[in-house]
A and B are shown apart, each in its own frame.
Chain A
Amino acid sequence: MSLTQHLSAQLPAHLPALQVVLPLLSAPLAVLLRHGGFAFAIVTAAAWAAFATAIGLWLQVGQLEPGGVISYHIGSWAPPWGIEYRVDRLASFVLLLVSGTAAVVLPWSRASIAREIPPERHYLFYAMFGLCLTGLLGITITGDAFNIFVFLEISSLSTYVLIALGQDRRALAAAYRYLIMGSIGATFIVIGIGFLYLMTGTLNLADMAVRLRAMESSRPVLAALAFLTVGISLKLALFPLHQWLPNAYTYAPSAVTAFLAATATKVSVYVLIRFYFSVFGESLVFHELPLPQIMLWLSLFAMFAASFIAIFQDNLKRLFAYSSVGQIGYITLGLSFDSVHGLTASIIHLFNHGITKGAIFLLIGGIVAVSAVRGAPSMSTTVTFARIAGLGKRMPLTCFGIVIAGLSLIGVPGTAGFISKWYLIVAALEAEQYWLVGAILLSSLLAVAYVWRFVEAAYFRPPPAGHESRNEASLALLIPAWVLVAATLWFGLDTSFTVGSALEAAQQLVRSGQ
């Protein structure tokens, strides 16, 4: 058998490793070549390959019997001693979101960072992007607790660098703040994992779960739960721990903002779900501690306070950054119900909000690219409301896209956001918490308010004198952004992929958590 035949026969079995290794290889190659164009080509190719791998894994999981798991042994060391990569329905779903977003954002980034980052740093940008992608995919796919921490730090450290590449000097301060808060979060997570390791003597998540079931719940296990909850909440920007997020999203290069907003916090939510349901199990998390109540109130605070703050922002990027904090509230609200439907709503919203926010930040990045002049003072890249007056005439496609994605944030029927809110309301009704339905609708009104501010500025204010002519973003910027906008509409109409996967994942998680 020739080598190529041998490889193509072996390929499907090695997809879990390739999922992480391909982006990992692209980063050092990008550094070695020291050329922006080559680095772009390699990292983009790796991201597409990762997307193809994720699709392959998704199909493979579909062929297993319900509740099946693909297990890959790194170095052929059998778990629980070796590191195991585990792909179940939820993991393959999140892998699709992360690699898919990267596959869309990277082609977009070429035209955008040409305006936002000096050319001699382009290869570093792509190397860091490759590493960040590696980290996020690794967190999702690994079945080893300490491995989660390592991949978390790979993605976090590269994220700090990516944010600091922003033009404005405030990007530096934002990156520093995120570094401090992110490191505290990661250290809390590693303390939690340490307690779990001390109590169970294993690092494999599945093995840990089995051993935790067998033992009486003890104080170190509860302490581990507390440390992990706080640490991961910092990473996913749950309401009172969200301070790092708005500035980081506002001043990072636009491509970075779009990628992070669509993936980074979502992967953290995934880690939280993984620890709650696959490791600790429902009974420990939701019955021994008042965690559902705490989660419920923090989520409500996020939904109302962050959305309320968003209304008064003058900077468009920061407005949608606060909106992200609010939307994360919906995701954690679904978790707090402790039911299959609640969890389904969380997982659907994790995906739908990812693509919606990705679309919005890509389109805003288009506005930045059109208005920015290389070498001009940093203030010229901030998109304030005064600056987008009458933009609906100048950049019709961009503005229309933001409006559609904005409707998805509100949850208008026909958009992806509606589906997630629908399932959230179903879960609330199922839990007989009727007042929550009112709360969800009320907080959607706040979203109407901030999206309306954009509509008002872009369509009802006259453009400034001398700026009336059409000045649309280039196709290289429009096409990837509109791919995500189209996805928001598609997943609002055809829900078989999102709802089907999420429901199956939720059932699998709840079953394993009992």
Chain B
Amino acid sequence: MIEHFSYIVTVFLMITGLFIVMARGNLIKKLIGLSVFQTSVYLLYVAPGKLVGGTAPILAPQYSVYSNPLPHVLILTAIVVGVATLALGLALAVRIREAYGTIEEDEITELDNKVEVLEEQTGPRP
């Protein structure tokens, strides 16, 4: 149980994040859930790369145990991707708020449906 601690945290974050994305209708809350979900992946990569007692992989005579640096580099990239996704998602949420006046998903769907009914009724543009 203790030795699998990091995996338990990872899976908990993963499920929490995914649940928030699916269950919440608020566009900002969905993005928060998405970020939590992505964070769990950072942990999935980084935690197994750590060796207890290991140091940074810089060659020096007094150290012989090194942590694997590759997962950290990969996750640095994934973090940047996560930041970009979050920024873009928030920017879209801001513009959706300006265009629709709401950031609740069900209200947006309702507004869309109204427009669609209108469109079906209109014929050629006068």
Inter-subunit contact B21/A194 (CB<8 Å):
no
**How far apart are A271's CB and chain B's nearest CB, in angstroms?**
17
Q: Is A400 an interface residue (CB 8 A)?
A: no
Distance (whole angstroms) from the CB of B32 to the closest CB of chain A: 12
CB of B44 within 8 A of CB of A386, answer no
Judging by beta carbons under 8 Å apart, are B88 and A160 in contact? yes
CB distance from B66 to the nearest CB of A (A): 14
| Structural contact, A314 and B34, CB atoms closer than 8 A | no
Q: Given that A161-B88, A194-B44, A464-B124 are contacting pairs, would A184 and B74 also be in contact in the complex, using a CB cutoff of 8 Å?
A: no
Please, what's the 1-or-0 string for B25-41, where 1 marks a CB less than 8 Å from any CB in chain A? 00100110010011001
A contact residues around B70 at 8 Å (CB): 203
Q: Which of B71, B74, B122, B125 lies in contact with A371, CB distance below 8 A?
A: B125
Q: Mark A179-199, 1 if CB is under 8 A from B, else 0.
A: 110011011001100100110
Q: In angstroms, how far is the closest chain A Cβ from the Cβ of B58?
A: 18
Query: In the complex, what residues of A have CB within 8 A of residue B21's CB?
Result: 180, 184
Query: Which residues in A have their C-beta under 8 angstroms from that of B120?
Result: 314, 384, 386
- A203 and B14 CA atoms in complex are apart in Å by 23
Q: Number of A interface residues at 8 Å Cβ cutoff, please give it.
A: 38
> Chain B residues with Cβ under 8 A from A191's Cβ?
14, 41, 44
Stretch from A13-21, A43-51, A105-113, A170-178 contacting the other chain: A170-178
A153 interface hit (Cβ, 8 Å): yes
Chain B residues whose C-beta falls within 8 Å of the C-beta of A384 in the assembled complex: 119-120, 122
- Is B63 in the interface zone, CB < 8 Å from A? no
CB nearest to B85 among chain A residues: A183
Decide: B18 and A170 in contact? CB cutoff 8 A: no
In the complex, the answer to whether A176 meets B96 with C-beta atoms within 8 Å is yes
Instruction: Collect the chain A residues with CB atoms within 8 Å of residue B88's CB.
Output: 157, 160-161, 179
Assess whether B123 is in contact with A176, with CB atoms less than 8 Å apart. no
| Docked-complex contact A179 and B85, CB < 8 angstroms | yes
Using Cβ atoms and an 8 Å threshold, which residues of chain A touch B112?
170, 173
**Bound CA span A173–B119, Å:** 18
Contact of B122 among A170, A198, A379 (CB under 8 A): A379
Most chain B CB within a 10 A radius of its CB, from A169, A186, A198, A389: A169
Cβ of A82 to closest chain B Cβ, rounded Å: 12
Closest residue of chain B to A195, judged by CB? B44
Chain A residues whose C-beta falls within 8 Å of the C-beta of B44 in the assembled complex: 191, 194
Set A160, A186, A389: member contacting B124, Cβ < 8 A: A389
CB–CB A173/B96 < 8 A:
yes
B1 at the interface (CB under 8 A from A): no
Contact with A along B97-126 (1 / 0, CB 8 A): 001100000001000100100111011110
Q: Is the interface of A mostly helix, strand, loop or mixed?
A: helix
- A384 to B88 alpha-carbon distance, docked (Å): 31
Is A467's beta carbon under 8 Å from chain B?
yes
Q: Is A380 a contact partner of B125 (Cβ separation < 8 A)? A: yes
**B37 adjacent to A467 (CB under 8 Å):** no
Interchain CB contact (< 8 A) of B115 among A153, A160, A170, A194: A170
Given contacts A164-B92, A180-B21, contact A153 B81 (CB under 8 A): yes
Given contacts A172-B92, A194-B45, A198-B48, contact A187 B115 (CB under 8 A): no
Complex interface residues of chain A between 233 and 282 (CB less than 8 A to chain B): none
Give A140-178 as 1s and 0s: 1 = Cβ < 8 Å from B's Cβ atoms. Answer: 000000100110010001001100100001101101100
A374 at the interface (CB under 8 A from B): no
The smallest beta-carbon distance between A204 and chain B, in angstroms, is 12
CB nearest to A182 among chain B residues:
B85
Given A184-B34, A384-B119: A176 and B74 interface contact (C-beta under 8 Å):
no
For the complex, what is the distance from the CA of A150 to the CA of B118, rounded to whole Å?
Answer: 42
Assembled-state Cα–Cα distance A389/B14 (Å): 51
State in angstroms the CA–CA spacing of A161 and B91 once bound together: 10
A382 to B116, CA, bound (A): 10
B78 & A190 in contact (Cβ 8 Å cutoff): yes
Q: Is residue B84 contacting chain A, with contact meaning CB distance below 8 A?
A: yes
Task: Give Cα A314 to B115, complex, Å.
Answer: 13
Query: Nearest Cβ in chain B — how far from A211, in angstroms?
Result: 16
Chain B residues, Cβ within 8 Å of A380: 125
A200 within 8 Å of B (CB atoms): no
For A448-468 the 0/1 string (1 means CB < 8 A from B) is 000000000000000010010
With an 8 A cutoff between CB atoms, is A393 at the interface? no
Which of B38, B48, B84, B118 contacts A187, CB < 8 Å?
B38
Residue pair B34, A183 in contact (C-beta under 8 Å):
yes
- A146 to B71 CA separation, bound complex (whole angstroms): 10
The residue on B at minimum CB distance from A163 is B92
Q: Which residues of B contact A157 (CB under 8 A)?
A: 81, 84-85, 88
Q: How far is the CB of B103 from chain A (nearest CB, A)?
A: 10
Distance of B125 from chain A, by nearest CB (Å): 5
Given contacts A164-B95, A386-B124, A387-B125, contact A176 B27 (CB under 8 A): yes
The A3-36 residues at the B interface (CB cut-off 8 A) are none
A184 contact set on B, CB distance < 8 A: 18, 21, 34, 37
Tell me if A194 and B108 are in contact (CB < 8 A): no
**Given A170-B115, A176-B27, A386-B124, are A160 and B92 neighbors across the interface (CB < 8 Å)?**
yes
15 other contacts beyond A157-B88, A190-B78, A379-B115, with CB at 8 A cut-off? A150-B77, A153-B84, A173-B96, A173-B100, A175-B92, A176-B96, A180-B34, A183-B89, A184-B18, A184-B21, A197-B45, A203-B70, A371-B125, A380-B125, A389-B124
The 6 closest A-B pairs by CB, nearest first: A169-B99, A464-B124, A386-B123, A176-B92, A153-B81, A172-B96
What are 19 pairs between A and B in contact, CB < 8 Å?
A: A149-B78, A153-B81, A157-B81, A160-B88, A160-B92, A161-B88, A164-B95, A173-B112, A176-B93, A179-B89, A180-B31, A180-B34, A183-B34, A183-B38, A186-B81, A314-B120, A384-B122, A387-B124, A464-B123
